[in-house]
Amino acid sequence: MADRTPLVAVIMGSKSDWDVMRQSADVLASFDVPHECRVLSAHRTPAETAEYVGQAESRGIEVIIAAAGGAAHLAGVCAAHTLLPVLGVPMESAALKGMDSLLSTVQMPAGIPVGTLAIGAPGARNAALLAVAILANSRPELRERLRNFRAEQRAKVLRETLA
């Protein structure tokens, strides 16, 4: 895309989430979608999180991907501060293997939605693909790239041979 103003914000509660969440960034980069990645925590940096999310729409951001683990309130807190679509990615946690993160992210009371993806890497990749699909609704060239991605994925599966 010619305009490099970030369209997607990928935020995560800790730098320890980056190993997984870089996969969201990689997918967005593979579709040439301008994005930015930030560490912001619902618990450790509540004021900065609210400020960042509150200003996101006016800066041109159209989708927010929010990842957190444990008592994972980040996506819900983000959704409370913006009208932009928020996609939540539960991080796998040491204590409960991400079940805590999943429930904290997915169980939003009615009124403030978070679109919750799978725990960990599949969720990170799918959040980016869903962000691409949202952006593609009004961007035909992006829709074409998404169509090509699906076709390549399909062809790859059909090429698989079992020894």
Residues that bind ligand RP5 (CB under 6 A): 12-14, 16-17, 41, 68-70, 91
Question: Minimum Å distance from CB 35 to ligand RP5?
Answer: 18
H/E element, 103: helix 99-106
Beta bridge partners, 36, equal: 9
Q: Which CB, 31 or 125, lies closer to ligand RP5? A: 125
Q: Which CB, 94 or 163, lies closer to ligand RP5? A: 94
CA geometry: angle 66, 71, 74, nearest 5 deg: 25
Distance separating alpha carbons of residues 21 and 12, to the nearest angstrom: 8
Question: Minimum Å distance from CB 57 to ligand RP5?
Answer: 23
Q: Which CB, 23 or 41, lies closer to ligand RP5? A: 41
Is 72:92 a contact under the CB 8 Å cutoff?
no
Question: Minimum Å distance from CB 90 to ligand RP5?
Answer: 9
Q: Which CB, 12 or 128, lies closer to ligand RP5? A: 12
Q: What token pair was written down for 146?
A: 């998404």
